[in-house]
Amino acid sequence: MRIELLESVDSTNNYIRRYLSAGDNVIVSAKTQTGGMGTKGRSFLSGEGGVYLSALTFHSALPAEHAFRVMAHAAVSVCRTAEAFGANPEIKWANDVFVCGKKLSGILIENGFSGKFVTWSIVGIGMNAENDLSGLDTAISLSTATGRKVGVNEAREKLIENYCKPSAFEEYLSYIRFLGKEVRVTEGERSYYALARKVLADGRLEIDDGNSVRALSAAEISMKFGE
């Protein structure tokens, strides 16, 4: 897979779109982003010291119902990387990776479809390595989590290495550690508690809210980590 390193860009996800017409798999990484994007249109802080990359992958025969596997693989890649440096990661559904109860990385996916198949995916990953997050109580870097400096270059190399290795859905599930526990679910203006039962093959979270068992495709989940 081709790898391109940049000094700064507005967004690696935006930049990598120029390669869509070429049909080649490529990874683009930048030292900083001026317009990093998070989920639901949120901005993503992208100062020096973090790993910011996007991977463009073309698929030959990926059924649309398996599109979630792209996101799951990205989350697994981050978890493998965190473990490689001695951290103990876990996934907050659907794809945020946490260490010590704080967010280590964010993932943003764009998929292209043709009929019943996913034809390409752009996977954007932002992971904290040695950036200063002293003003953020909700985020953590690999350096802070492990108690030693984890440089951007070695973190990026390890993340790319792990991303280029295949993963199974079962490995994703192994990092989901709140199943069987009560979680707080927020859907729009409504919040309630429910038992998290399992993550289905299509990525939906099955819950029991006391009245019925149903599957969520999108919601905010809050839980206590490390229990």
Each residue of 140-168: pLDDT tens digit? 999 999 999 999 999 999 999 999 999 99
> What rounded mean pLDDT belongs to the chain?
92
Q: How crowded is residue 131: how many other Cβ atoms within 10 Å of its Cβ?
A: 22
The structural domains of the chain, ordered by start, are: 2-174 (3.30.930.10), 182-222 (2.30.30)
At 160 the three-state DSSP class reads helix
Each residue of 5-37: pLDDT tens digit? 999 999 999 999 999 999 999 999 999 998 766
Could you give the residue ranges of the DSSP H alpha helices within the chain?
12-16, 68-84, 142-146, 152-163, 169-174
Please give the average per-residue pLDDT across 185-202, as a whole number: 94
> What's the pLDDT score for residue 74?
98
> What's the pLDDT score for residue 190?
92
Residue 41 pLDDT > 80, yes or no?
no
Q: How far apart are CA 38 and CA 225, in angstroms?
A: 22
Residue 226 pLDDT > 60, yes or no?
no
Looking only at the bridges linking them, the beta strands covering 190-199 and 205-208 are antiparallel
Residue 44 pLDDT > 90, yes or no?
no
